[in-house]
């Protein structure tokens, strides 16, 4: 298991598998677990300021980082991330821009990740919702 950038986390890469781009196949971690509920692209006052996918993705990631910080964690402690998207085609089309926003907010840390398209969100303006699990080493 190759080590990650964060102590207490190891990237799981089966021998002979192609290395994934932008995520990890798995991560082994020990420490205090933090679970961040789904974050959408509104600000800290639950007000919508951006209505495009890239802008909402940036804000949702900033919200994730704020919740992590409240628990004493940093982006490099994220071990699992799930993206819920209204439109997978819009996500694929904006891949470069979303990747740039991801690296700006999260850095070059790529946890185990899943992305799924959903029918709708509780918040009508939402285009993306992101939830994470983080592990802070002891």
Tokens coding 18: 């192609």
pLDDT given for residue 57 in this prediction: 98
pLDDT given for residue 122 in this prediction: 96
Whether residue 3 has pLDDT greater than 80: no
Please tell me the distance from the alpha carbon of residue 23 to that of residue 114, in angstroms, as a whole number. Answer: 9
Q: What are the extents of the domains in the chain?
A: 9-136
Tokens coding 118: 């959903």
> pLDDT digit string (tens) for 14-41?
999 999 989 999 999 999 999 999 999 9
Instruction: For residue 8, name the pLDDT band (cuts at 50, 70, 90).
Output: confident
The pairing of strands 112-117 and 78-85 is: parallel
pLDDT given for residue 138 in this prediction: 84
pLDDT given for residue 9 in this prediction: 85
Predicted model pTM: 0.92
The 3-class SS string of the chain reads: CCECCCCCEEEECCCCCCCCCCCECEEEECCEEEEEEEECCCCCCCCCCCCCHHHHHHHHHHHHHHHHHHCCCCHHHEEEEEEEECCHHHHHHCHHHHHHHHHHHCCCCCCEEEEEECCCCCCCCCCEEEEEEEEECC
Whether residue 87 has pLDDT greater than 90: yes
Instruction: For residue 1, name the pLDDT band (cuts at 50, 70, 90).
Output: very low
pLDDT given for residue 104 in this prediction: 98
Query: If one looks up domain 9-136 in CATH, what number appears?
Result: 3.30.1330.40
The mean of the pLDDT values for the chain is 94
Please tell me the distance from the alpha carbon of residue 23 to that of residue 70, in angstroms, as a whole number. Answer: 24
Please tell me the distance from the alpha carbon of residue 74 to that of residue 83, in angstroms, as a whole number. Answer: 19
């Amino acid at each position: 298991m190759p080590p990650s950038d964060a102590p207490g986390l190891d990237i799981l890469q089966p021998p002979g598998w192609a290395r994934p781009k932008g995520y990890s196949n798995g991560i082994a971690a020990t420490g205090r677990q933090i679970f961040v509920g789904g974050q959408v692209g509104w600000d800290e006052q639950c007000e919508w300021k951006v209505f495009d996918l890239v802008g909402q993705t940036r804000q949702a990631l900033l919200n994730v980082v704020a919740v992590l910080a409240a628990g004493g964690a940093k982006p490099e402690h994220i071990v699992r991330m799930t993206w819920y998207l209204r439109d997978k085609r819009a996500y694929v089309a904006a891949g470069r821009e979303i990747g740039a926003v991801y690296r700006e907010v999260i850095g070059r840390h790529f946890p185990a990740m899943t992305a799924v398209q959903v029918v709708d969100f509780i918040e009508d303006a939402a285009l993306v919702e992101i939830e994470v699990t983080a592990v802070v080493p002891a």
